[in-house]
Structure 1
Amino acid sequence: GASLLVTVLALDGSISTVEGGLLFGLIVAYVAWTVRAARREGPEVVAENEEAIDTEALARTPLAMQLGFIVAGLVGLVVGARWLVSAASTVAADLGASELVIGLTVVAIGTSMPELATSIVAVLRGQRDIAVGNVVGSNLFNLLSVLGAAALAAPGGIHVPEAARTFDLPVMTAVAVACLPVFFDGYVLKRWEGAVFFAYYAAYLTYLVLDATDHAAVDPFRLAMAAFVLPLTVLTLVVVGRRAWVSHRAAPRR
């Protein structure tokens, strides 16, 4: 829903201040709903959450030290963000690539590394709900909060490049739609499905690099994706979606 909304709002070439306020308001409403839903959880879920968090270690840490960690983290975040933007602009100028491509590759991968590490550690510890929540929550936060706040802060809103409107945002929306039948298939993301998503991201990065450098292989690569990969993807999603629907219909109702 958030991916489709951002794609539609960007069709006119910008995210206006009013639209940024709408996005930011949606994330506030979503967080409020999530907190309210969490308070209605049963004792089993609460106990599971407490087990995942080392509450004893937190209790032994003085409040002043915890506040100091928060302040230090915020300061480091601001300084690091300034360095990241400056370095990304320099890399874009040196490579002759657009800032959009650098943002979609270097900056996006760099800022997603903490999320990747968190999800992997959570999965290895058996806390799969944390891994899924981390990915879904971060995507919603980036689309609604980060983009919304940036549109509110920028005079006149944010300009959305044509390349993003015609390719990157539709790809993002298509990936979000592709996740639906996979997640409904027993609410389990299998290894081969994860490998498929990873391969598609690698193909997406490859296309960005080929297109940014005007490589001769960009047209054959685009043709191969359109003629073979995309039809196979649609066929796979249809099969998985139908299997999930049949399983859902066959499941006993309470």
Structure 2
Amino acid sequence: MTYLMVLGGLILLFIGGEGLVRGSVSVARKLNISELVIGLTLVGFGTSVPELVTSLRAISEGAVGIAVGNVVGSNIANVLLVLGVAAVIHPIITNPRALMRDTSIMVIMTAVLCTLIWFDLFSRLAGFVLVAALLAYIAFSLIADRTAGDKAADMHAEEGEIVEANYGILLGILIAVAGLAGVVIGAKLLVDGGVIIAREFGISETVIGLSIVAIGTSLPELATSAIAAFRGKADVALGNIIGSNIFNILGILGVTALVHPFSVRGVPTGDVTTDAMSSGISHSLISVGDIAALLLSVALMVVFAISGKLVARWEGAVLLFAYALYMGLTFNLIPVPAIL
């Protein structure tokens, strides 16, 4: 029964996420909103809604490991799994100038995320700052893209165009609402099932968040990127991944901390805001290895996408191998070197 809960949650997250994106994009087009705005806001935010709802649900139930592991794991999966799949399907020709701004922001925000985890700074103030930074990023991107009219603007516009959705306004609203409902129900099933599995098998909730939950909430990005790659627009997949990672850090953790501040130190009981700073970094729910995997995934993406102007199929295979290796280490299927 538990496995059916998790499976049902994954399916609802995927279908609900797709419905939410397609419904909202359709309504936006009927209202004559440009593809640039759609790609930068609705597609980027819409594909991150499963992560947001799942993390909020997990925090409300005291499952901090699932909430934070979901974001960290999703960002790792976006690069190693989603980008890897897209590159294997179709080599990704990149434009460093188009990617430089958003990639730089993603690198900076990843460093900010690692800092927040290391020093356990997920207060309500931190949540407010992260959400404010997200709004500033969106506003800056829209102004810069409309003013410059450069490759970055073209990339964001193509992110919107890749979504096929041309329903009427009423039908679009109904599809979006139904999709959101599916995401909410799916998040509940996935979190509840994940907690039960963790307890039954003695696996930490963080591991469940980094793996099963992270992969499940990344399914919309995987679907969008795979479709883009099959259509020969794999560069759109790269832009979608970068945008999603930025939304995950600023939007998901920002909103989560703003709604319900939490601690990543130790295993909280009762109030998830309990201060456990004195317990030391060794007791952090997110390990040094997880932080290293996050930083390494970003480094690989930058090296493959920016330096060579092409993410080749063999590089996509390297990313997939790295993800398989990370999952093996996460579930202790591969002996961990003593240095770690």
Question: TM over 0.5, yes or no?
Answer: yes
Corresponding residue of 1:157: 262
Match of 1:72 among 175, 178, 194: 178
Q: 1:78 to 1:39 in 2, by over 3 A?
A: same
Correspondence for 2:130: 23
**CA, structure 1 residues 159+53, in 2 after alignment: closer, same or farther (shift >3 Å)?**
closer
Q: CA RMSD in A?
A: 2.8
Question: What is the CA-CA distance between 1:51 and the residue it aligns to?
Answer: 10
Contact 1:183 1:189 in 2 (8 A): yes
Displaced runs of 4+ in structure 1, greater than 6 A? Answer: none
Alignment match, 1:37: 144
Aligned to 2:216: 110
1:230-249 superposed matches below 5 A:
none
Q: Aligned runs of 1:46-85 on 2, under 5 Å?
A: 49=158, 52=161, 58=166, 61-85=167-191
Give the length in aligned residue pairs. 213
- The aligned counterpart of 2:32 is none
CA contact 1:13–1:160 (8 Å) conserved in 2: yes
Using the size of structure 1 for normalisation, the TM-score is: 0.74
Q: Do the aligned partners of 2:159 and 2:240 also contact (CA within 8 Å) in 1? A: no
Counterpart AA for 2:145: A
* Secondary structure in structure 2 of the residue aligned to 1:164: coil
Higher relative contact order (CA 8 A, sep 6+): 2
Cα 1:218/1:14, change in 2 over 3 Å: farther
**5+ unaligned residues in a row in structure 2: which ranges?**
1-107, 267-283
SS at match of 1:15: coil
SS at match of 2:298: helix
Partner of 1:173: 295
Quote the residue 2:311 is aligned against: 189
Q: What is the alpha-carbon distance in structure 1 between the residues aligned to residue 163 and residue 264 of structure 2? A: 44
Counterparts of 1:157 and 1:30, CA distance in 2: 25
Normalised TM-score (structure 2) = 0.56
Equivalents in 2 of 1:11, 1:153: separation in Å?
21
Q: Which residue number in structure 2 is paired with residue 121 of structure 1?
A: 227
Give how far 1:17 is off: 1.4
1:2 and 2:130 are equivalent in the alignment: no
The DSSP-based 3-state class of the residue aligned with 2:218 is helix
Deviation at 1:197, TM superposition (A): 1.4
**Separation of aligned partners in 1, 2:241 and 2:154:** 20
SS in structure 1 opposite 2:232?
A: coil
More helix by share: 1
1:39 deviates by 2.4
1:11 counterpart residue number: 118
What secondary structure, in the 3-state scheme, does the structure 2 residue paired with 1:97 have? coil
Paired with 2:191 and 2:299, the residues of 1 have a C-alpha distance of 31
